Each structure stands twice: as C-alpha cells, then as structure tokens.
Structure 1
Amino acid sequence: MSPRVSHLDNEQCRQCTSFADYMKENKKRLVEEQDRRKGQGVCDAEGAVGSRRPDCPLDKDELGQKSWGLLHTIAAKYPKKPNDSDKQDIKTFFNVFAKLYPCSHCAEGLREDLKEHPIRTNNQDELSQWLCEIHNRVNLKIGKPAFDCSKVHERWRDGWKDGSCD
C-alpha cells in the first residue's frame, strides 16, 4: 500500500501528505474548486477569495507538529515516581496511538520504532528522554535537525531558562 493512501478508505489522505504535496497531486480538482468558490464569493477568514482557510483539516505537517506537542506534553506530565498502573497506561497509550495515527506511513514507522526502542517508563525524565530520541529519529529521517534532548524539560515542561515563557 502506498504511504500516501489512507488505510481506511483508499482516498487521498490529507494527514498522509504535506499541503504542498496535496496541492500538486490534486491541482486540477483544487483549481476547479477555487473557481467554484470564487464564483460563489467564498472567502477565508481574512477575506481572500480562494486561499486556504485556517480552519481546514490538518495536513501531514500540521498533524505531526500538533501530535508531537501532545506527546511531549504527556511525557512532561508523567509522574516522577509512576506506579505499575501508570507504566502500563503509558505503554498502552503509545501502542494504541501508533495503531490509530491517521498517517499510515507515520504510524507504521512509529510501531517499528517502538519494537526497536521499547518505551522507558521508570520515571518522567526517562520517558521524556526516550520520546525525544524517538522524535529525533523521525526528524533525521525527514531531513530536519535533531533537538538537543538535554533541553527537553525546558521545551516541554518548565519553559526556557531565559524566562521567555513566563
């Protein structure tokens, strides 16, 4: 199955492609839709006819950014001294997340990464570092720079030491 095809409906999946790729692959249909919208005077929130509205479904890049934000925030709030139930819950969460993630290609990659690098659940620091390492492996695969995992608590839990988040 192509990574750009939804595993649910075999239709083009917005969550499986960037907006730019989506536009390239669907240009004719989108131009026709823009022409139709112009004829009806449909505008985005700023009043520009035919431009992409801010309340459109998430594309792959937006979904990824927001998902990473959620995952890192969950890790940042994980207990410093988790009990057995906390440990099982977080393992279950990541396994279910990796099954249900809307981008099938991304979900498959996460499932493989979970097998090769099992989740570390002994405490909040360990979980946050593990997730940072997972995120960095994804960043490197897609050509983005790695994040300095020594700064994971500043980024996702405490705020930057310079006070800019206060």
Structure 2
Amino acid sequence: MTTTNEKENCPADSVALGRAAWTLLHTTAAYYPDRPAPSQMDSMRLFMSTFADNYPCFKDFKQYMAEEPVRVGSRKKLSEWLCKQHNKVNEKLGKPSFDCKLVLDRWLQGSLKECNQ
C-alpha cells in the first residue's frame, strides 16, 4: 500500500526517510541490552555516530549528539536519550513531542492503545 508521498519504485521523500530512520533507531534502542557489555556500548556509540554521518537529513541530530553524547549504559538510558533527541528534532519541525516515559511502551512492548487496535 502506498501513500501520496510514497510511490512504489520511487525514491523516498524526506518524510518517508525520516520516519524510516526514526523507526530503525528507536527499535534498535528498544532491543538494546539492559546490561550491555563494553563491546556493545562501543558498538552502539559507533553505530549512532556513523548513522548520523551517513544518513541524509540527520545534520541536526549529529549536532545534538555533540552537545549530549549518546547514553549507552542500558536499554532505558539509550531509549530515553534517543527520545529526547527525537523531540529536539520534532520541536524544530513544529511537531508535537513524545512523552519519553512511554518510549519502551511504544517501541518494545507495543502496549499503547493504537498498537492494540
């Protein structure tokens, strides 16, 4: 099924790219270990950094990472940090913020009302 902004076999526009990027990042954070090994923490730092370096439209995200480095100490810390960064982008775009207390409900457990319909 395609929307007016997403036509099959066409390049994604900035809205589709942004949605896909945030879905990937939030899902990755939601499945990150509660107690990551040092190598997992290093890998996540590198992933976030290289993702921001190489993904279109993430210039602001890279700046936010420089101001507040990624928090990789646990799933909760990473998910909440990412939610906070996403909200900074949303604010700049005039979009509503997400309640970061619900981030794992949204991206891991799927217990939000709209997920159960």
Q: TM-score, normalised by structure 2?
A: 0.89
Highest RCO, 1 vs 2 (Cα 8 Å, sep ≥ 6):
2
Aligned residue pairs total 114
Aligned to 2:103: 152
Q: Of residues 56, 71, 77 in structure 2, which corresponds to 1:120?
A: 71
Task: Specify the structure having the higher radius of gyration (Cα).
Answer: 1
Per the normalisation by structure 1, the TM-score is: 0.64
Inter-partner Cα distance in structure 2 for 1:164 and 1:150: 17
Say whether residues 1:56 and 2:7 are aligned partners.
no
CA offset digits 1:32-57 (Å, max 9, x no partner):
xxxxxxxxxxxxx99xxxxx733311
Q: Are residues 139 and 163 of structure 1, via their aligned partners in 2, closer, same or farther at CA, if it must alter by over 3 Å? A: closer
Tell me the equivalent position of 2:43.
89
Match of 1:129 in 2: 80
Can you list the C-alpha shifts for 1:123-164, whole angstroms capped at 9, x where unaligned? 000000000000000000000000011110111000125584
Letter in 2 for 1:74: T
Identity value in percent: 39
Gaps of 5+ in 1: 1-44, 47-51
Q: Which has the higher helix share?
A: 2
Query: What is the CA–CA distance in structure 1 between the aligned matches of 2:44 and 2:63, rounded to whole Å?
Result: 17
CA deviations 1:54-99 (Å, max 9, x no partner) are 3311011100001100000000000000010000000000110011
CA distance in 2, matches of 1:161, 1:62: 22
CA RMSD of aligned residues (A): 2.1
